[in-house]
A and B are shown apart, each in its own frame.
Chain A
Amino acid sequence: MANDRSEQTSDEAGGEDLSRIYAEVSGVEPPAGLDALILSAARNELEPPAPEAASVKPGQPGLPRAPWAMAALVVLAAMLYQVIPDQQMTGSEPIVVSMADRQAHDFSDLQNKLKETPAAPAPDASPRIGSVSSGADFRQERSVPERKQTEERAVLEAREADESLAPEPVIVARSTKASAPEKSEQFVAEAESKAAPIASLPQVAMVDRDVQQAPRSNLQRHASGRLLENRKRATRTTVTESTQAYSAPGSLAGDAQLAAPQSRKDDAAEFATLADSAAVAGARADAPDQLAAAPAEVAAGQVLIFAGAPDSGIFVEQAGQFDGLGVELARRVLNQAGYRVEFRAMPLNEAVEQARSGAVDAVIGVAISIGADRSLQSGSEAFSPDGLVFAFSELRSLGELRAHFDAEIARMRASGELANLQRRYGVHSGLQ
């Protein structure tokens, strides 16, 4: 295998000391059984379909195949139904039969099964491939020997007769995921738990969420991690001081408390949207009193200053040039809304302090809530498992701008542009 690092340019050199140390622990080898399994699969893929069954002599009419195929399907389906516990039958998504479930990497059994199983057509781009021949394992573990032979013959006949009817031996159709009704209940429960934290959020505009899938984006984790770090630092800095200037002028508690019961009338997905977006940004848009109370309106054409801490994929500064998902989104929305934007890179603590003082208008890539002790905390748990957040300084009224953010982000989400940007910057959030 060629090593292209020999072609590296001077500005990417510099990791030699680490490479030398890492070499001590590199070159971990896969288990031999796994090698054999993959090589077998590679060979099997190339083998032509198995010949006709030898039991049928030339000149004699063969047994009808379709009934055999149907019989095999029925037998296997009945076996699976008996074998799989009820709670695992509630979903339909195939999952991996974990190798971890197989004690001590007992690959010899798998290899034996591979040998027993004739060259079967490989499943197409299936969701997950099990530990090969898990179906065979079921047969072995769940049936009596004489039935086993008959059933395997039936399966073989079924494959030969009609590939489309043949069961896929490597996938076990079961799922540990919750069913749809269970998910709905989870969403309501999650949203109820979010209601109180939402009440303490500062003004934020939030984009990019997908509560149903519930993975958390890199960004969210970055924000969470940074703010956790901030909390640690708070004991020796002024970060834990009063957040009055940074929090919304007027309590959002009323909006948030109204939001939760309203959303319960909707389905779970709508509730999730309300909980993680509208209840935060939208509720404020519906609160003109709060916005009117803000001291300084920002007119279109003015320069807004967005600050961020250097962060891969979200806020990247390179020789005075800014890039990243947060930067790109801010540029698009602000330019479209007629604002000009200036970016500044600084440590996160400083960005937050400057947002408090009004020296910058927003901080990119943070989720902040105000704890009961008035300390800054990661807001990620408060309202979104998967969101990109811009925290705005409350010293300037940006209500209209927030509406632009929401509208533009909704448009980008619908058109797929948002997902493309996420891919481009490596900020994955499970949107697709």
Chain B
Amino acid sequence: MSDETLMRRYAEGDAAAFEELYARYRKSLYGFLVRQCGNPQTAEELYQEIWLKLIRSREQYEVRASFRTFLFRIAHNTLIDHLRARGRHPDQEALEYVEEDVDPGAGSSAIANPDDDLETRQLAEHLVGLIGALPESQREVFLLREEAGMAVAEIAEVLGENAETVKSRLRYAWAKLRRGLAEHGK
């Protein structure tokens, strides 16, 4: 049964439909928030807030876009509200430098074939730190792609951006992450 059908059935009073829908998205939404906030406690608050917003807006839900877009758009807006409410944390700002010369493929050879599982795991843990250091907008598109499994067009829909902007952010994110991983491997 499609996500959209489940949501419609929940709006009509089928609690089991919500449980199924929740099971499908709990990991991706939570993972997105944890990486985006970098703070599990904040992520938990936002996670709860997002689902409650969804629950309360069930009767307004219309199948214009996919349910996933609907859910992550709520998440995006909730994150923005959260950031506005608390202001920008100073220690994030020094990390917002955008390199001038971006080669999305830079460093890819160094991370293409990690030798073993342990090395892959170590790279992954380092990658988490690098993701946290990305500018917010780049981190968001990267996470929507990786955690929510979205293509560029869907990310653009969630963010209300054009696809070219999303691609550009994605390329910057990739380039920085690859460079960071390559430096880590030296």
In contact, B145 and A129 (Cβ under 8 angstroms)? no
In contact, B13 and A46 (Cβ under 8 angstroms)? yes
In contact, B94 and A122 (Cβ under 8 angstroms)? no
Separation of A324 and B80 alpha carbons in the complex (Å): 19
Separation of A43 and B13 alpha carbons in the complex (Å): 9
Question: Does A86 sit within 8 A of B, measured CB to CB?
Answer: no
In contact, A98 and B135 (Cβ under 8 angstroms)? no
In contact, B94 and A225 (Cβ under 8 angstroms)? yes
Separation of A309 and B149 alpha carbons in the complex (Å): 30
Which positions 65-94 of chain B face chain A at CB distance < 8 Å? 68, 80, 83-84, 86-88, 92-94
In contact, B149 and A3 (Cβ under 8 angstroms)? yes
In contact, B146 and A14 (Cβ under 8 angstroms)? no
Q: Which listed residue (A26, A229, A423) contacts B31, Cβ 8 A?
A: A26
In contact, A122 and B56 (Cβ under 8 angstroms)? yes
Question: Does B18 sit within 8 A of A, measured CB to CB?
Answer: yes
Separation of A42 and B127 alpha carbons in the complex (Å): 35
In contact, B150 and A215 (Cβ under 8 angstroms)? no
Separation of A417 and B38 alpha carbons in the complex (Å): 33
> Chain A residue with minimal CB distance to B52?
A129
> Chain A residue with minimal CB distance to B18?
A42
Interface-lining segment among A32-40, A144-152, A267-275:
A32-40
Question: Does A137 sit within 8 A of B, measured CB to CB?
Answer: no
> Chain B residue with minimal CB distance to A378?
B93
Separation of A98 and B44 alpha carbons in the complex (Å): 9
How far apart are A369's CB and chain B's nearest CB, in angstroms?
Answer: 16
Contacts of B15 in A (CB 8 A): 42-43, 46
How far apart are B18's CB and chain A's nearest CB, in angstroms?
Answer: 5
Contact flag A38-B97 (CB < 8 Å), given A15-B145, A15-B170, A218-B135: no
Question: Does A347 sit within 8 A of B, measured CB to CB?
Answer: yes
In contact, B168 and A129 (Cβ under 8 angstroms)? no
Contact flag A215-B55 (CB < 8 Å), given A5-B149, A42-B10: no
Question: Does B30 sit within 8 A of A, measured CB to CB?
Answer: yes
In contact, B26 and A7 (Cβ under 8 angstroms)? no
Q: Which listed residue (A28, A38, A312, A348) contacts B100, Cβ 8 A?
A: A348
In contact, B98 and A35 (Cβ under 8 angstroms)? no
Q: Mark A216-256, 1 if CB is under 8 A from B, else 0.
A: 10101110111011000000000000000000000000000
In contact, B100 and A346 (Cβ under 8 angstroms)? yes
Contact flag A18-B178 (CB < 8 Å), given A37-B48, A38-B22, A224-B94: yes
Separation of A100 and B39 alpha carbons in the complex (Å): 11
How far apart are A226's CB and chain B's nearest CB, in angstroms?
Answer: 5
Contacts of B164 in A (CB 8 A): 316, 318, 323
Question: Does A430 sit within 8 A of B, measured CB to CB?
Answer: yes
Q: Which listed residue (B26, B45, B112, B165) contacts A35, Cβ 8 A?
A: B26
In contact, B168 and A225 (Cβ under 8 angstroms)? no
Contacts of A7 in B (CB 8 A): 151
Contact flag A222-B145 (CB < 8 Å), given A1-B68, A318-B168: no
Separation of A58 and B22 alpha carbons in the complex (Å): 42
Contacts of A218 in B (CB 8 A): 96, 135-137
Question: Does A194 sit within 8 A of B, measured CB to CB?
Answer: no
Separation of A229 and B44 alpha carbons in the complex (Å): 34
How many residues of A are in contact with the other chain, CB < 8 A?
79
Question: Does A182 sit within 8 A of B, measured CB to CB?
Answer: no
> Chain B residue with minimal CB distance to A431?
B84
Question: Does B120 sit within 8 A of A, measured CB to CB?
Answer: yes
In contact, A24 and B97 (Cβ under 8 angstroms)? no
Question: Does A11 sit within 8 A of B, measured CB to CB?
Answer: yes
Which positions 101-120 of chain B face chain A at CB distance < 8 Å? 101-102, 104-105, 108, 111-112, 114, 120
Separation of A124 and B60 alpha carbons in the complex (Å): 13
In contact, A222 and B135 (Cβ under 8 angstroms)? yes
Which of A14, A30, A220, A385 counts the most B-chain CB atoms under 10 A from its CB?
A30
Which of A38, A215, A229, A347 counts the most B-chain CB atoms under 10 A from its CB?
A38
Contacts of A385 in B (CB 8 A): 87
Which positions 190-233 of chain A face chain B at CB distance < 8 Å? 213-216, 218, 220-222, 224-226, 228-229
Question: Does A60 sit within 8 A of B, measured CB to CB?
Answer: no
Question: Does A168 sit within 8 A of B, measured CB to CB?
Answer: no
Separation of A5 and B120 alpha carbons in the complex (Å): 22
Q: Can you name 21 A-B residue pairings with CB atoms under 8 Å?
A: A3-B149, A4-B149, A14-B104, A15-B174, A24-B124, A25-B124, A25-B128, A43-B15, A45-B55, A45-B58, A96-B49, A99-B41, A124-B56, A215-B84, A218-B96, A221-B92, A224-B96, A309-B98, A316-B165, A385-B87, A426-B160
Question: Which A-B residue pairs are the 5 nearest by beta carbons?
Answer: A24-B124, A225-B96, A347-B100, A3-B149, A225-B97
**Chain A residues in contact with chain B, CB under 8 A?**
1-5, 7-9, 11-12, 14-15, 17-31, 34-35, 37-39, 41-43, 45-46, 96, 98-100, 122, 124-125, 128-129, 131-132, 213-216, 218, 220-222, 224-226, 228-229, 309-313, 316, 318, 323, 346-348, 385, 423-426, 428, 430
**Chain B residues in contact with chain A, CB under 8 A?**
3, 10, 13, 15, 18-19, 22, 24-28, 30-31, 34-35, 41, 44-45, 47-49, 51-53, 55-56, 58, 68, 80, 83-84, 86-88, 92-98, 100-102, 104-105, 108, 111-112, 114, 120-121, 123-125, 127-128, 131, 135-138, 142, 145-147, 149-154, 159-161, 164-165, 167-172, 174, 177-178, 181
Beyond the given A229-B97, A309-B100, A316-B165, could you list 20 further A-B residue pairs with CB under 8 A, ordered by the A residue number?
A1-B68, A5-B145, A18-B174, A18-B177, A26-B31, A27-B27, A28-B27, A29-B27, A38-B55, A42-B22, A213-B87, A216-B88, A221-B96, A222-B97, A222-B98, A222-B135, A224-B93, A225-B94, A226-B97, A385-B87
